Amino acid sequence: MEFLFEYGLFFAKAITVVMAIVAVLIAFVAIAMKQKGQASGKGQLEIRSISDALEDVTDYAEKMLLSDAQLKQFMKDKKAEEKAKAKADKAAIKRAAKNKIGSDPNLSDSPAKISTDKARLFVINFHGSVDAHEVANLREEITAILLAAEDNDEVLVNLESGGGVVHGYGLAASQLQRIKAKGLKLTICVDKVAASGGYMMACVADRLICANFAIIGSIGVIAQMPNFNKLLKKNDIDFEQHTAGDYKRTLTVFGENNDEGRAKFKAELEEVHVMFKDFVNTNRPSLDIAKVATGEYWFGLQAKELGLVDELATSDDIILELNKTHEIFSVKYSEKKNVMEKLGFAAENTMFRAYNRIFNQSQTPIS
């Protein structure tokens, strides 16, 4: 028995040493990969032609429906069409270069802008979380578009967000305002939800479209927190908090809250709500803001009647509609993450998804 006890003690010590060594190795690997990630740059911008992808789908569908003789003629016509397009593109390049050199010989080495028959539509996908960290990529995508866009180009944002922190979604809405300030038309499509901070972004659009049962609105402000002061007192645990300034901290998690702090906290929420309403009213002046800014949300069909959106449609139909008159490109900026960052991001996303699932199921009716 004594032998087994000593062996177990030795085994426990060995496991402890191994775990300590593994922890140190993981820390060194994390630091090394973080430094490598910092040295390799922020991220990368990807621009993909949606028009080309739609054309490929159309061609494939047509080919599957044709007989052998029809397919042969189709391929012949397609080849002639591609040849004519390549010739037209080459002529446009020469014409643009000639015009640039003629207007300013000193700029002959810089690239000339090539005019096309169709305007361009740049598509951004924004799926916002509670902390609105996606705005970091959004700002890069918008900056890239503004640097490349010409006068007749447009921007479409596929937006999905149930809202979150005020400062995060305020910045996201300000990023969308940059598009309009540049003189580009902004269309926003909502297939599922644009509520609270999500609607703060959506209302900036020149043309706001949503699906029939998308959740729209929730123009209100909420703040909530637990208070453990009674629990601490029950267990004889003291908590100290010192501030300079009457309202440096109104409500706390561990301290004892009072009516004055609660009143100030509620007043601050009201101030934010007033700013939220003013922002929506500025961007959509025809709205009856007193009627819709109650914190309620509506489905797309109801939102259309209230004037919260302009049209009812899915983003897919809008893309197909605009593809007739525009060359469409998706714009996506993504940051490269090392292994440790990916693991941390995955864990964070799991917690957020669990919270959102519980919260949404308790708030959203189902059928």
> Which member of 67, 248, 324, 362 is catalytic?
248
* Calpha distance 283→289 (Å, rounded): 11
d(CA 97, CA 46): 26
Give yes or no: 362 in active site: no
Cβ-contact 281, 287 below 8 angstroms: yes
Residue 248 a catalytic site member: yes
In whole angstroms, give the CA distance from residue 20 to residue 179: 52
Gyration radius from the chain CA atoms: 28
Catalytic one of 51, 129, 161, 196: 196
CA distances 161 to 123, 173, 280, 295, 323, Å, are 17, 12, 16, 15, 26
The CA distance from 192 to 160, in Å, is 6
Joined tokens for residue 31: 């630091």
Closest CA to 170 of 208, 132, 138, 126: 132
DSSP-derived letter for residue 240 is -
Q: Is 130 helix (H, G, I), strand (E, B) or coil?
A: coil
Residues 208/309, Cβ–Cβ less than 8 Å: yes
* Helix, strand and coil in the chain, % to nearest 5: 55, 15, 30
| b/e map 9-46, b = 16+ CB within 10 Å | eeeeeeeeeeeeeeeeeeeeebeeeeeebeeeeeeeee
Catalytic machinery residues: 196, 248
